[in-house]
Amino acid sequence: MSKLRLVKEFFQYVAENKKLWLVPIIIFLGLIGLVVVVSQSQAIAPFIYSLF
């Protein structure tokens, strides 16, 4: 529940302060984190490695 509250507060901050440039940065960092987590799997690691 605390994590959902943090996300909600972040989006409220962005909306109130017109910091819309933060949204793509957060999405990009989240996607990079997702790639790192997924690449830890042994079956998919060679495919991720070939991308970079």
Q: Which residue has the higher pLDDT, 45 or 16?
A: 16
pLDDT of the residue at 48: 67
Q: What is the pTM of this model?
A: 0.59
Q: Which two tokens stand for residue 38?
A: 């997924």
pLDDT of the residue at 45: 67
The domains of the chain are located at 2-51
Q: What are phi and psi of 10, to 5 degrees?
A: -60, -45
pLDDT of the residue at 28: 94
The tens digit of pLDDT for each residue in 9-43 reads 888 888 888 888 888 998 999 999 888 887 776 67
Residue 48 has a CB neighbour count (10 Å cut-off) of: 14
Q: What is the Cα–Cα distance from 6 to 39, expressed in whole angstroms?
A: 27
